[in-house]
Structure 1
Amino acid sequence: MRKRIIVSDGSRTTEAEIRRYTRDDFKALIEVQAESFPPPYPSELWWNEAQLHEHVTRFPEGALCVVADGKIAGSMTALRRTLADGDGHSWAEVTDDGYIRNHEPDGDTLYVVDLCVRPAYRSLGLGIWLIQSMHETAVHLGCRRLLSGGRMPGYHKQADRLTPEQYLTEVAAGRLRDPVVSFLIRCGRIPVGVARGYLEDEESCGNAALMEWRNPFLA
């Protein structure tokens, strides 16, 4: 995977490249995490070099980054698993706490482990380009779908009147807006359920929206 693109936010335009990340990128990838998830987000949850080593050696096809202005501006990581529709899971269970040692080379689902973009580059749509590139990876590998557990950071504002499932329905219908779920819908994802106890996230009340993209070249 190596793709050159031109991105713009209407006021600035720059060239960017999407490619696989390598060992030489580890320091920059951790910097991206630090900028994307500042305190009070715990620094011990940023990528560490042991996790990144597993990504690039165990499943390099799922280790993507985007470079703009000569530096890594964002990254996206995935692994392959075979998961039945409706399977319940947490982020830690499905990704091996981000180490992806449970990667299945023939897994039918390309599962998103992480997506992050430096705040200064978010207006350029680099997250959308990374997601599109992972869709292309799913097609290239013959996976039946791409799946992720998306945060629901707006849910805590509605938790006193809506269940997580009801909240997801309202967002999918456009009656409510969620910063993450609404973004994923714009990227072509379809909500297929809620994973409760997915991760420790006060804003999402521990929930995640299971968001799916089906490979259109497979029946």
Structure 2
Amino acid sequence: MGYFKRMILQNKDELSEVVIRNYKESDFLELIKIQEESFPPPYPSEAWWNEEQLMNHVTLFPDGALCVEVNGSLAGSMTGLLVDFNPKHPEHTWNEITDEGYIRNHNANGNTLYVVDICIRPAFRKMDLGKWLMQSMYETVVHKGLDRLLGGGRLPGYYKHAEKMSIDAYVEAVVNGEMKDPVASFLLRCGRTPVSIVADYLEDEESHNYALLMEWRNPFKAI
């Protein structure tokens, strides 16, 4: 059984039908276009999805391959895999834990749903679609009886402050609500909580290669 959710959400001055579902092979070309729109330079183009990666997503862990449609048009996607995470040893890179996005290391017996990627087309970013996709992944965590959802969030606002602030001070200011970061602040609004700062997580000029590892714990499980 796949995932399917239908909602009616506000889209500018009108109401739109929104569907969240598992993506499939016929969606691949449009999903790659969404990556291009969502992650423009200086984000490296080689980090956008390719068809081999997407095929692995839908065959190795289709439950972790979600997309969102607005009035029948693809507007974004979110991808995850299962890993066996030890919170006492949180250090890792994006390439290591996601197998460079190919998720061949997906562990069907893992305790954690790890977010590989989330992106929303810029034209749809005022509809809270990213938040609804995140909520759908939380539901997947509960449905599968996992411990948590986990992921490393980019810190694309850091480059503006890097000369004057350490990464620790920047993250503390964002978490305390004193500053806003395009990704970390969004994840906080989605209910994610910080775990640790990870250096050399992903080649990302804006974030100075840092990421903030953040989790959402399954409220039905004591960890």
Residues in 1 aligned to 2:40 and 2:14: alpha-carbon distance in whole angstroms: 25
1:38 Cα deviation after fit: 2.8
1:27 Cα deviation after fit: 1.2
**What SS does the aligned partner of 1:3 have?**
strand
| Unpaired segments ≥5 residues, structure 1 | none
Match of residue 134, structure 1, among 133, 137, 141: 137
**1:72-98: CA deviations, max 9, x gaps?**
110000000011114201110110000
Question: Would you say 1:36 and 2:38 are equivalent positions?
Answer: yes
Match of residue 17, structure 1, among 7, 16, 19: 19
User: Cα gap change, 1:36/1:141 in structure 2, threshold over 3 Å: closer, same or farther?
Assistant: same
**1:57-110: CA deviations, max 9, x gaps?**
000000000011211110000000011114201110110000000110011110
CA RMSD for the aligned pairs? 1.2
Q: Contact conserved, 1:165 with 1:193, CA < 8 A, in 2?
A: no
Residues in 2 aligned to 1:41 and 1:167: alpha-carbon distance in whole angstroms: 21
| TM-score, scaled to structure 1 | 0.96
Match of residue 71, structure 2, among 69, 72, 79: 69
Please identify, of 206-215 and 10-19, the stretch whose mean Cα deviation from structure 2 is larger.
Answer: 10-19
1:166 Cα deviation after fit: 2.3
Question: Would you say 1:163 and 2:166 are equivalent positions?
Answer: yes
Identity of aligned residues (%): 56
**Which residue in 2 is equivalent to 1:8?**
10
Q: Contact conserved, 2:56 with 2:104, CA < 8 A, in 1?
A: yes
Q: Contact conserved, 2:92 with 2:198, CA < 8 A, in 1?
A: yes
Please identify, of 142-151 and 36-45, the stretch whose mean Cα deviation from structure 2 is larger.
Answer: 36-45
User: Cα gap change, 1:154/1:97 in structure 2, threshold over 3 Å: closer, same or farther?
Assistant: same
Residues in 2 aligned to 1:169 and 1:38: alpha-carbon distance in whole angstroms: 27
**Which residue in 2 is equivalent to 1:80?**
82
1:40 Cα deviation after fit: 4.3
Please identify, of 95-104 and 22-31, the stretch whose mean Cα deviation from structure 2 is larger.
Answer: 22-31
The number of aligned residues is 219
**What SS does the aligned partner of 1:123 have?**
coil
| Unpaired segments ≥5 residues, structure 2 | none
**What SS does the aligned partner of 1:210 have?**
strand
Question: Would you say 1:148 and 2:141 are equivalent positions?
Answer: no
Question: Would you say 1:45 and 2:50 are equivalent positions?
Answer: no
**What SS does the aligned partner of 1:54 have?**
helix
**Which residue in 2 is equivalent to 1:173?**
176
Residues in 1 aligned to 2:92 and 2:52: alpha-carbon distance in whole angstroms: 23
Residues in 2 aligned to 1:41 and 1:149: alpha-carbon distance in whole angstroms: 16
**Which residue in 2 is equivalent to 1:206?**
209
1:36 Cα deviation after fit: 1.2
